[in-house]
Amino acid sequence: MTKPIILTGDRPTGKLHIGHYVGSLRNRVLLQDQGKYEMFVFLADQQALTDHAKDPQTIVESIGNVALDYLAAGLDPEKVTIFIQSQIPELAELSMYYMNLVSLARLERNPTVKTEIAQKGFGESLPTGFLVYPISQAADITAFKANFVPVGHDQKPMIEQTREIVRSFNHAYQTDVLVEPEGIYPENEAAGRLPGLDGNAKMSKSLNNGIYLADDMDILQKKVMSMYTDPNHIRVEDPGKVEGNMVFHYLDVFGRPEDAADIAAMKDHYQRGGLGDVKTKRYLLEILERELGPIRERRVEFAKDMGQVYQMLQEGCDKARQTAAQTLSEVKSAMGINYFK
């Protein structure tokens, strides 16, 4: 019995924050430990380069950092193949064939890409590589014949485009080599996108409002103490608001079932008045430290031997490459362009 295949990846554009952790990393570790799937997790450095072409250094540095974040969060290279996109040339080759099956108009309609183009303000200098990255993403997914792709809601259009490419390819070449993937999306809205410390809807490096898996205890404490609460809760006796208060939002996300009663009681007390922000923040700090402390310790340990981390990545690349090469060979056979076989 072959296991269903799961594949997912991240753009290495910086260290991972706790939004990545609750939104996806934590779930990947659960999937890994179920042992029911064959899993691939990869660093999409080529995709990251589509909007960082002149700043490769950020991407290069992020490879080591994100690999450390993965290991620290509990991804186990014995159970999951961890690899780097740029080291698998078969992916670029697959993209070449898929490009002929996708119209320019279809690429321009992809809503996520459209939003990104507007946000990044490319204007007339939109790089071709950026516009076609959904095609390269289809190559990432199909090279491994992934059945399931756990991603954020913003990635739905990529999965949709991949499915179209698969159908189009299989139909055009009368084959079934490519597999239609399904997206797996976060069910928990609160965890699906964790807001920043300042209450901004997005936790991001550019907004400087995130907690990173690599942050030490001191930084974590400073960040928690600086969190946005209720600006009208001035004196301890004042009634405070729980909605939009980041401390309570994070408690809802990071609290465990056994904390539910304490958290409910705190919310009550806060809303009645008489509970200060420093107390709620200290409690949140404890809850966060319980989850992040062990991750941080593991990260420090792994970081002592970066040689070993890169060795792990290289082994992952070697393994991933075999799978991708097999699919590429099947793809070329289906098209009839494997002339010397």
Task: Look up tokens 């939009």; give the residue.
Answer: 244
Helix (H, G, I), strand (E, B) or coil at 176: coil
Least Cβ distance, residue 160 to ligand TRP (angstroms): 13
Write the CA distances from 207 to 51, 61, 171, 201, integer angstroms.
18, 20, 45, 11
Query: The tokens of 263 are what?
Result: 């958290």
User: 11, 15, 20, 163: which one contacts ligand TRP (CB under 6 A)?
Assistant: 11
Contact between 14 and ligand TRP per CB under 6 A: no
Question: From residue 32 to residue 71, what is the string marking binding to ligand TRP with x (rule CB under 6 A)?
Answer: ------------x--x------------------------
Amino acid identity for residue 306 in this structure: M
Q: Which amino acid is at 177?
A: V
List 5, 9, 91, 191, residue binding ligand TRP (CB under 6 A): 9
336 is in an annotated binding site: no
Q: Confirm or deny that 11 is annotated as ligand binding.
A: yes
Question: Could you tell me the sign of the dihedral formed by the alpha carbons of 289, 292, 294, 299, in that order?
Answer: negative
31, 75, 141, 324: residue in contact with ligand TRP (rule CB under 6 A):
141
C-alpha–C-alpha distance, residues 218 and 296, integer Å? 12
Query: H or E segment at 40?
Result: strand 38-43
Q: Apex CA 298: angle with CA 32 and CA 80, to 5°? A: 20
Work out which of 16, 31, 84, 151 binds ligand TRP, going by CB under 6 A.
151
Q: Using alpha carbons only, how large is the chain's radius of gyration in Å? A: 22
Count interface residues toward ligand TRP (CB under 6 A).
Answer: 13
| 74: enclosing H helix or E strand | none
HSE-CB at 123 with a 13 A cutoff on CA atoms is 2
CB nearest ligand TRP: which residue? 44
Q: How far is the CB of 10 from ligand TRP (least distance, A)?
A: 5
Q: Is 199 annotated as a binding residue?
A: no
Helix and strand counts by DSSP (H, E) for the chain: 16, 5
Determine if 23 is a binding residue for ligand TRP (CB under 6 A).
Answer: no
Annotated binding-site residue? 142: no
Query: Is residue 320 involved in binding ligand TRP (CB under 6 A)?
Result: no
Does the annotation place 39 within a ligand binding site?
no
Nearer to ligand TRP, 126 or 303 (CB): 126
230 lies in the site for ligand TRP, by CB under 6 A: no
**140 assigned binding-site residue:** yes
Report H helices in the chain: 18-20, 26-34, 45-49, 56-73, 89-99, 104-109, 111-120, 128-131, 133-143, 156-172, 189-192, 217-225, 246-254, 260-272, 277-303, 306-335
* Residue 319 known to bind ligand: no
Rule CB under 6 A: is residue 140 a binding residue for ligand TRP?
A: yes
One-character DSSP codes across 7-38 = EEEE--SS--BHHHIIIIIHHHHHHHHH--SE
- Nearer residue to ligand TRP within complex by CB, 155 or 209: 155
Stretch that binds ligand TRP, among 33-41, 115-123, 133-141, 205-213 (CB under 6 A): 133-141
Shortest gap between Cβ of 129 and ligand TRP (angstroms)? 13
Q: Which residues bind ligand TRP (CB under 6 A)?
A: 7-11, 44, 47, 137, 140-141, 149, 151, 155
Numbered residues of the known binding site: 11-13, 19-20, 140, 152-154, 194, 202-206
Numbered residues of the known binding site for ATP: 11-13, 19-20, 152-154, 194, 202-206
